[in-house]
Amino acid sequence: MGGGLLLGSAVPGLQGLLESVKVGSISVPIALGLLLMMYPVLAKVRYDRLGTVTRDRRTLLLSLVLNWVAGPALMFALAWLMLPDLPEYRTGLIIVGLARCIAMVVIWNDLACGDREAAAVLVALNSVFQVLMFGVLGWFYLDLLPGWLGLHSEAVAFSFWEIVLNVAVFLGIPLLAGYLTRRSGEKARGRAWYEAEFLPRIGPVALYGLLFTIVVLFALQGETITAQPFDVARIALPLLVYFAVMWGGAYALGKAAGLTYERTTTLAFTAAGNNFELAIAVAIGVFGVTSGQALAGVVGPLIEVPVLVALVYVSLRLRGRWAAREGGAARAGTS
């Protein structure tokens, strides 16, 4: 993050060069980094086990409620409570809350030793709902609900095909590549070779892709972020509260529902993460690259990346305690 900000601020013309390499509204450098990041993780998924996840109705239901009811509602409430005098930033944050994570969450979940198969299913479920519900919820939270509450409303039109393209690029391509890699690798050499020999070779690519994505993302927005530090701080506060409440609430719900550590971790990260690529693209497309809405979208990953890295660490600490409790319960049951 620091390296990206430094590059964006110190290297003349770099930001313009990176912004010029686009296909539609999709930044090619960011797309490349995300594809490199997600492909090895999705190649690790055992696709023949996805049926066990789809039969787990508790996980699916909790994920839908957290992502498409609790998440947007919480961001709407925080944006209005903490930014009542800044309508552009408020609208940008609400758009961030509507863009549920379908990309980077895969690697956060993998680093935290969550359930890979569950992550693949929940991310795919989010992608379907993102296509179907993003525009509907945008109309509800930006126009209809504020009108009901006597607040200032802002009618916004979202591009359906932009959302479809975003889902296809950031989830469809790496998911298909991961599936075909596992299928062809197991068919040619068997599962034992594939998991013991092949996966360790491509595994480091995910971390390289993550680091590359973060550097490029912050290089793109370095000048914008460093030029308006006070505004960034105002936007950051509701985001910090949002990530903490969503992750902690999802963890508590998963534990209360009797889910395993792996499923609970996957539930928490898929609920807390956001699709910042889509949020930034939508804000720029609707309001312009210099708008306050676009700045709010940019600040999203500035806060999300370090917070979710920290939550990966917290998850791994909880994993040890979870295993210790389960071991103690098992010994007590045996005795």
Q: Could you report the per-residue pLDDT of 11-59, keeping only the tens digit for each?
A: 877 777 777 787 766 778 888 888 888 899 899 999 988 888 888 889 9
Q: Tokens 């609790």 label which residue?
A: 70
At 335 the pLDDT is 47
The answer to the question of residue 281 being in a domain is yes
Q: Is the pLDDT of residue 259 over 60?
A: yes
Alpha-carbon distances, residue 227 vs 141, 232, 289, 297 (angstroms): 30, 9, 15, 16
Rounded Cα gap, residues 170 and 176, in angstroms: 11
Strands (E), the chain: 22-23, 26-27
The answer to the question of residue 330 being in a domain is no
Kindly state the average pLDDT of the residues 179-190. 94
Q: How do residues 48-88 score in pLDDT, each as one tens digit?
A: 888 888 888 899 999 999 999 999 999 999 999 999 989 99
Band the pLDDT of 278: cuts 50, 70, 90: confident
Quote the distance between the C-alpha of residue 193 and its chain's center: 31
The answer to the question of residue 141 being in a domain is yes
Q: Which of 99, 72, 101, 59 is nearest to 264 (CA)?
A: 59
> For residue 48, what is the DSSP state?
G
The answer to the question of residue 138 being in a domain is yes
Q: What is the pTM of this model?
A: 0.84
Find the CATH number of the domain harbouring 250: 1.20.1530.20
Rounded Cα gap, residues 164 and 100, in angstroms: 14
CB 245 within 8 A of CB 228: no
How many independent structural domains does the chain possess?
A: 1
The answer to the question of residue 15 being in a domain is no
CB 137 within 8 A of CB 68: yes
Kindly state the average pLDDT of the residues 155-184. 84
191 lies in which domain range? 2-10+22-321
